Amino acid sequence: MFINVLSVTVEWSIRKMVASKNEIEDITKIILMWVPETYAYDMMTEVWDNCVQYSDNESLRLTVQGLISEVQRQNGVDFTGIEELR
């Protein structure tokens, strides 16, 4: 019995909890209501660079990557090369 419970617990903890496309779109809309698109992009890339990039949490990595991509998509702004401007 204990082995079955442990097995279920391990299986549950391995599942990815990546935000859905709709959730990412909604979160991005809210961020962009309060923050200009360049600030939003800078904020999300800073989160990536300082907190997420080397994380073992793959679902967090995928969610933040989705948010960065959605900020770019919703604004139609090409952020290529923005890192050089900082």
The predicted-structure confidence for 16-57, as pLDDT tens digits, reads as follows 678 899 999 999 999 999 998 889 988 999 999 999 999 999
Whether the CB-CB separation of 24 and 66 falls below 8 Å is answered with yes
Residue 11 confidence (pLDDT): 46
> Residue 7: what pLDDT?
43
The reported pLDDT for the residue numbered 76 is 74
Query: Does 13 score more than 60 pLDDT?
Result: no
86 pLDDT higher than 60: no
Tokens of 28: 């991005």
Question: 84: buried, middle or exposed (CB in 10 Å: 19+, 13-18, 0-12)?
Answer: exposed
| Residues 6 or more apart whose Cβ sits within 8 Å of residue 71 | 28, 31, 32, 37, 40, 41, 44
Global pTM reads 0.69
